[in-house]
Amino acid sequence: MSEELIIEHCSPTLAGIKTGSMFSVRVTEETDINREVRELNKTLRKKGLRVIPLKKTDEFALIYIYRPDHLKKDLNEPQALSILKERGYEPENPECCIVQLVRHLKSDEVFPHEIGLFLGYPPSDVKCFMKHPCKGVKCCGCWKAYSEPEKAQKTFVRYRKCTEAYRKMNKDGKSLAQLAVMTG
């Protein structure tokens, strides 16, 4: 996994302003995703980040980088708890929720759209998307916003500016380890 790929898709999470990010990597015969994830965890764990493969196939791996402290707070929000319980999760433990998400990604016939909760999206928007993905959308960016479009737009701009800044700093020589910040 290249630093550029991670920066492109995960800068707001690295900066501590977003709970989690996901990206896909192409898998080849030479790819050892588990080794790469272990190495990333060695680098990022001391900054309060975790990296796990959510799903692997012969062609790609879906990688999740997240901040456990942020995820715990997000999943304890009442509307998030309600969504997770409706989908069969046991939301008391965020790590167990991730294991259950992996299971949903592997075995469900439809994509588990509650995944937005694991990325820090507003639960009200996740719930609306799950019920009516095209109805009532106020604006789009990292997610479809159904409520509070002004707040969502500000967040989209903040994430975009963060990614642009991280891209530039990486190009100027800052490593992934230097760009990831410690939070909490």
Give me the number of domains the chain comprises.
Answer: 1
Q: Per the domain annotation, does 101 fall within a domain?
A: yes
The residue type at 50: R
Burial class (CB in 10 A: 0-12, 13-18, 19+), 75: buried
- Residues 121/143, Cβ–Cβ less than 8 Å: yes
Residue 58's pLDDT is 87
Residue 100's pLDDT is 95
Q: Per the domain annotation, does 29 fall within a domain?
A: yes
CA angle 2/116/42 to nearest 5° reads 35
Across the chain, what does the average pLDDT equal?
Answer: 93
Q: Per the domain annotation, does 12 fall within a domain?
A: yes
Residue 15's pLDDT is 97
Residue 184's pLDDT is 64
What tokens does 88 get? 């069969």
Write the DSSP symbol of residue 6: H
- Of 112, 25, 28, give the one whose Cα is nearest residue 64: 25
- Residues 170/179, Cβ–Cβ less than 8 Å: yes
Q: Per the domain annotation, does 182 fall within a domain?
A: no
Residues of the chain with pLDDT under 70: 184
Q: Per the domain annotation, does 183 fall within a domain?
A: no
- For residues 18 and 104, give the distance between their C-alpha atoms in angstroms, rounded to a whole number: 23
Residue 27's pLDDT is 87
Domain assignment of residue 109, given as a range: 3-172
Q: Per the domain annotation, does 177 fall within a domain?
A: no
The residue type at 35: R
Q: Per the domain annotation, does 97 fall within a domain?
A: yes
First to last CA, the chain: 27
